[in-house]
Amino acid sequence: MKLQVMKFGGTSVGDAECIARAAKIIASAARARSVVAVVSAMSGVTNRLIAAAHQAATGDKAATNELAAALSTQHAGAIDALIKDESRHAKLSAEVQQIIREVAALCRGTALLRELTPRTLAAISSAGERLSARLLAAALCELGLHGVAVEASELIITEDDSAQAEPLMKETRERAPARLLPLVKDGVLPVVTGFIGATAEGILTTLGRGGSDYSATILGAVLDADEIIIWTDVDGVLTADPRLVMDARLLREISYNEAAELAHFGAKVLHPKTLRPVADAGIPVWIRNSFAPEEPGTKITRTGHPTESGVKAITAISNVSLITVGGRGIVGVIGVAAKTFTAAASVRANVLLISQSSSENDICFIVDSGDAERTLKALKKAFASDLVHHNVEHIRVNPGICIIAAVGEKMRGTPGIAGRLFSALGKRGVNIIAIAQGSSEYNVSFVVEASVMQSAVAAIHEEFDLGRRSIK
């Protein structure tokens, strides 16, 4: 029998009505195939848990009580609306209260010690999935199906990293199918907690914020699933942000590479690591809207659906800053780039784009605006003596910019795309500050003033006819 792994994001299980809708989606899929569900915390819950944990670390005990009350209200309210069967209601309520008590105990311990260790934070922040998985499993039982909540700490084995754990695929392949497949064979619908893993020794870890997508593809890969569906609150991947381009269209099929570029570059539909586990096996991943399940969604496959123009989608990232290290004295000097990026790394600034022209008069790169101040300080320190001797003449930050990227697998090896792209911008009078194209050629990125972001995106969208043509 075919197997589908379905993941429901936070908004797709945001309240009782959404959970009921998710249960119906699973029920209808389960008529024709086996289904393993993966679930995020109800929307807002993870943020709330993390905020309360940090509050507790300051010694604040009241925050813990507020957290427990809020979790209780939210989940108990959903249980009341969803679960009519009395004994199921009582059992589920008891389990939910028990998890909330555990979280509150962890927060109180944190407040007493005024210390939040990474392990404690992982235990606290993962409670949302442990709650939502039980709710969704019970909602399936209400429909007469056999839903069972399963803790991913029994399934996904990871390295020992509480906050951003990498899965150990070999170990996970030994563990997860042995636990899940017998359930599936018995007609059970497992509902697995997203976001969570555990070390081989059983210490709980988390896969990083938004990591439930990753949980779904890790499980899909080790279960040799036929497909994976990521149910979310948008119709799929669009040719551009519809807030910037009115005639943005849904892309029916894109490749893993295109999806990875888009996930990185602003269209944050997927956790960036999501496609890694399934790319080798070529398992298709769908992005679909749980609020509009009749919509077809976007299918992500190995080859995608190549379009003639090569460009498939355009993304824009704002809230980023351009940092320039420049001066005649850096020309031909070995180690300037190394020093620049070592400084950025030393303050954990993530570098989004790099550009240096062959004249070597300056190196520029882009970081999140939130990281810019720190990075500037670190650079000034690293280049202190070069600044004194005017080898480096300036280190500047420009926060008023954005990155725009044109993405498409078929851009690779197709001449003329960059030419069309930049002349379309030229015709609209858009000035380009910096350009970068990785040698993968799936992505041409450039930097413009933030004030012209919309007209730049619209110009390229129009040039490559992305809106009008029906995109396959």
CA 8 to chain centre: 13
Q: At closest approach, how far in Å is the CB of 232 from Mg ion?
A: 9
Region 175-204 residues binding ligand ASP, contact defined as CB under 6 A? 194-195
Which among 303, 296, 291, 307 has a CA at the least distance from the CA of 239? 307
- Window 128-167: contact mask with Mg ion (x via CB under 5 A): ----------------------------------------
How many residues of this chain bind Mg ion (CB under 5 A)?
2
Work out the angle between the directed axes of helices 453-463 and 417-427 (0-180°, nearest 10).
130
Could you say which DSSP state residue 152 is in? G
Q: At closest approach, how far in Å is the CB of 5 from Mg ion?
A: 17
Q: What is the dihedral angle through the alpha carbons of 169, 171, 172, 174, rounded to the nearest 10 degrees?
A: 120
Rule CB under 6 A: choose which of 88, 146, 173, 209 binds ligand ASP.
209
**Which residue lies nearer to Mg ion by CB, 125 or 153?**
125
**Which residue lies nearer to ligand ASP by CB, 12 or 443?**
12
Q: At closest approach, how far in Å is the CB of 211 from Mg ion?
A: 8
- List of residues 6+ apart from 120 with CB closer than 8 A: 53, 106, 109, 110
Query: 304 touches which of Mg ion, ligand ASP, none (CB within 5 to 8 A by kind)?
Result: none
Answer whether 220's CB lies under 8 Å from 156's CB.
no
Q: CA angle 419-423-428, nearest 5°?
A: 160
**Which residue lies nearer to ligand ASP by CB, 6 or 41?**
41
Structural tokens at position 313: 């989608």
Q: At closest approach, how far in Å is the CB of 273 from ligand ASP?
A: 12
* Type of residue numbered 22: A
- List of residues 6+ apart from 250 with CB closer than 8 A: 235, 236, 237, 238, 239, 295, 296, 298, 471
Answer whether 459's CB lies under 8 Å from 430's CB.
yes
Cα–Cα distances (Å) from 194 to 197, 212, 259, 286, in that order, read: 8, 4, 21, 17
**Which residue lies nearer to ligand ASP by CB, 170 or 268?**
268
β 394-407/443-449 pair status:
antiparallel
Query: 167 touches which of Mg ion, ligand ASP, none (CB within 5 to 8 A by kind)?
Result: none
Q: At closest approach, how far in Å is the CB of 400 from Mg ion?
A: 30
At 441, which helix (H) or strand (E)? Answer: none
Rule CB under 5 A: choose which of 40, 172, 274, 324 binds Mg ion.
40
**Which residue lies nearer to ligand ASP by CB, 39 or 240?**
39
Could you say which DSSP state residue 316 is in? E
**Which residue lies nearer to ligand ASP by CB, 210 or 408?**
210
Q: Please identify, among the stretches 94-102, 177-185, 209-217, 225-233, the one whose residues bind ligand ASP according to the rule CB under 6 A.
A: 209-217
Q: Please identify, among the stretches 39-47, 110-118, 329-337, 424-432, the one whose residues bind ligand ASP according to the rule CB under 6 A.
A: 39-47
HSE-CB at 216 with a 13 A cutoff on CA atoms is: 34
Distance CA 338, CA 256 (A): 31
**Which residue lies nearer to Mg ion by CB, 75 or 339?**
75
- List of residues 6+ apart from 51 with CB closer than 8 A: 63
Q: Does 44 bind ligand ASP (CB under 6 A)?
A: no
Q: Does 215 bind Mg ion (CB under 5 A)?
A: no
Closest residue to ligand ASP, based on beta-carbon distance:
212
Rule CB under 5 A: choose which of 4, 7, 8, 10 binds Mg ion.
10
- List of residues 6+ apart from 346 with CB closer than 8 A: 378
Instruction: For residue 427, report the phi and psi dihedrals to the nearest 5 degrees.
Output: -60, -35
Burial zone of 168 (CB within 10 Å; 0-12 exposed, 13-18 middle, 19+ buried): middle
Region 117-156 residues binding ligand ASP, contact defined as CB under 6 A? 128
Region 372-391 residues binding ligand ASP, contact defined as CB under 6 A? none
- Window 340-359: contact mask with ligand ASP (x via CB under 6 A): --------------------
* Type of residue numbered 456: A
Rule CB under 6 A: choose which of 147, 167, 210, 310 binds ligand ASP.
210
**Which residue lies nearer to ligand ASP by CB, 129 or 371?**
129
Return residues touching Mg ion (CB under 5 A): 10, 40
Residues near ligand ASP (CB under 6 A): 10, 40-41, 46, 128, 194-195, 209-212
